[in-house]
A and B are shown apart, each in its own frame.
Chain A
Amino acid sequence: MTELTDLGVAAIRDGVRDGSFSAREVATAFNDRVAQAKALNAFLVETPDHALKAADAADAARASGDLKPLSGVPIGMKDLFCTDGVPTTAASGILDGFTPTYESTVSANLWQAGAGMLGKLNLDQFAMGSSNETSAFGNVISPWRRKDGGNAPLAPGGSSGGSSSAISARLCPAATGTDTGGSIRQPAAFTGISGIKPTYGRCSRWGTIAFASSLDQAGPMARDVRDCAIMLEAMAGFDPKDSTSLELAVPGWEAGLSSDLKGKKIGIPKEYRVDGMPAEIDALWEQGIAWLKDAGAEIVEVSLPHTKYALPAYYIIAPAEASSNLARYDGVRYGLRDLPDGAGLQDMYAATRAAGFGAEVKRRIMIGTYVLSAGFYDAYYNQAQKVRTLIARDFDEAWTRCDLLLAPTAPSAAFALGEKSADPLAMYLNDVFTVPSSLAGLPAMSVPGGLDGQGLPLGLQIIGKALDEQGVLNAGLAIEERAGFTARPEQWW
């Protein structure tokens, strides 16, 4: 018999519904697997009781014929979502000891849909990073290893690296992620799983610890496209507590899944063919084009002329918003307080923030403070927001010629921990293919396409028009059916 922990969201939901197994058996199996996987450092907090309680509710609901969309499905929760009564730190020392007295809208929606929580997942500190090396609570290790026998610990991607590591290691069937510049898609690509960032405004930001509010968007990560659709349906929805929440009904994305792409035009952005891209990534991209053609789509070349300016614009806008958002950590209302002997209020602020923030967070707050400071605001911040307008226009122009875009998710396979951490710029370049769609607020998804020569997963990215998550999911499904990606990391932990 298949192990319960090998099952995805749909299989668990359906199995609980038809009585193949109980929700409690599922929760127990995942709880045990989480407890045995400490070497991956994917979880910051384990919450087996939460998972069991939701499972018992699911089993009772089955008995009374009252099952909900995610009844019996235990998931992982990125530790950027505030969870009532469960410590939430954003992997930062400055929130050490913080236990929210409220629940984020996205997590509340998931519990409302019947899901249970296995625990809180590690991440890059305040979601700032692409490798999970900025967490104050240690690196997350990818379950994948190169087949060169070296056993170098690899990055699970970031910032949703606890989520990606846990899903690919079968510690949970699905998890929440958040994506500001690629933080769902790049870790999904690095670990051979799927993940979708919906249109900005689909998922409420209320109760999600803020990084860059005009970019932050929650989304699901799971092992296949259907599971992502099921999760996203539960997470999304209008929330009056978020002023940028879209007042729209949540489509039935799962019911709308279809891998028939007849009549669809897929754009290939020529500016995404960057210098120095590994031949394997290029070959996978070509393969992706062939798969989409096979699914009935027509391929057209398109141009997004301002692509090269997306990353520098992002590294002005995101730090600027972060410097403002993170001003709230002052040692007064929650989290860490560092009060040196005889210090006044200002000294307490400065000492607390010096002690609590990690190096990358400080670096970004410093950049953000600088670009917003008197005399530089126009040259940096305003110019970046104007370039952002041009980047969004590039996409609008492309949509006159095609329905979706296909590109690689990341410029390389997973790198080893420590390989890029000394050079912030090299790390930032990892998001070259994911940042433009974030700046334009568009839905985008990564699905596994194949393995590189070292046996590591590579992802393909589909970018869609605003609100066309269905188109993105459907193209993802077409690739998934043709890629037949079944590789999984060998268990060493």
Chain B
Amino acid sequence: MSVDTATVKKIASLARIAMRDDEAEAMVPELNNILGWIEQLGEVDTSAVEPMTAVIPNHLRLREDVVTDGNCRDKVLANAPQAEHGFFAVPKVIE
């Protein structure tokens, strides 16, 4: 499979990365080169194989459903580019 400029722009939009047309065009051969290389995985017969879910056998732990953390609003907001009234502030999203 290979990608064209329109596909690259669509992926960039899904990934929320702004990309000019010339940047998208430059990325087409780069991505096709890599995608062409990873396509060799198609040679491997995996019809009787389960996809890996954990490298080391390990069980998922459960814990009591109790509050173990919190009361640290100011720490959470300390690195926000813009914080107001104890909230993260973003540009207006509703007209």
Contact = CB atoms under 8 A, between A and B. Distances in A.
A485 interface: no
A243 B61 contact: yes
Given A339-B91, A353-B17, A439 B55 contact: yes
A335 B79 contact: yes
A115 interface: no
B40 A244 contact: no
Interface in B28-68: 30-31, 33-35, 37-44, 46, 49-56, 58, 60-61, 63
Contacts of B17: 350, 353-354, 357, 362, 365-366
A385 B60 contact: no
A382 B52 CA distance: 9
Contacts, number: 165
Contacts of A362: 17
Contacts of A440: 55
Contact of A386 (B16, B51, B72): B51
B80 A333 contact: yes
B39 to A, nearest CB: 8
A440 B54 CA distance: 9
B85 interface: no
B44 A392 contact: no
A244 B13 CA distance: 32
A119 interface: no
Nearest to B72: A101
A150 interface: no
A440 to B, nearest CB: 6
A366 B12 contact: yes
Sort chain A's interface into a size bin: 35 or more
B12 to A, nearest CB: 7
B61 A390 contact: no
Interface in A188-223: 199-201, 214
B40 A312 contact: yes
Contacts of B88: 332-333
A397 to B, nearest CB: 14
Contacts of B60: 243
B55 A441 contact: yes
A424 B66 CA distance: 47
Contact of A334 (B54, B55, B80): B80
A261 interface: no
A178 to B, nearest CB: 16
A309 B56 contact: no
A111 interface: no
A379 B40 CA distance: 11
A214 B58 CA distance: 13
B61 A315 contact: no
B80 A466 contact: no
B82 interface: yes
B11 interface: yes
Nearest to A382: B51
B59 to A, nearest CB: 9
Tell which of B33, B52, B91 has the most Cβ of chain A within 10 Å: B52
A145 interface: no
B19 interface: yes
Contacts of B27: 363, 366
Contacts of A383: 41-42, 44, 46
Given A240-B63, A243-B61, A332-B90, A369 B14 contact: yes
B37 A370 contact: no
Interface string B5-20: 0011001111111110
A390 B34 contact: no
Contacts of A387: 41, 44, 46
- 6 closest pairs, A vs B, by CB? A441-B55, A385-B51, A337-B81, A334-B79, A386-B46, A354-B18
23 contacts: A99-B78, A100-B79, A199-B56, A244-B56, A309-B41, A312-B41, A315-B37, A333-B80, A334-B81, A344-B91, A344-B92, A349-B16, A350-B16, A353-B16, A354-B19, A370-B11, A383-B42, A383-B44, A385-B53, A386-B51, A387-B46, A388-B52, A441-B55
Given A332-B88, A334-B79, 10 more contacts: A98-B79, A101-B79, A240-B61, A309-B44, A330-B16, A333-B76, A363-B31, A383-B42, A384-B38, A388-B52
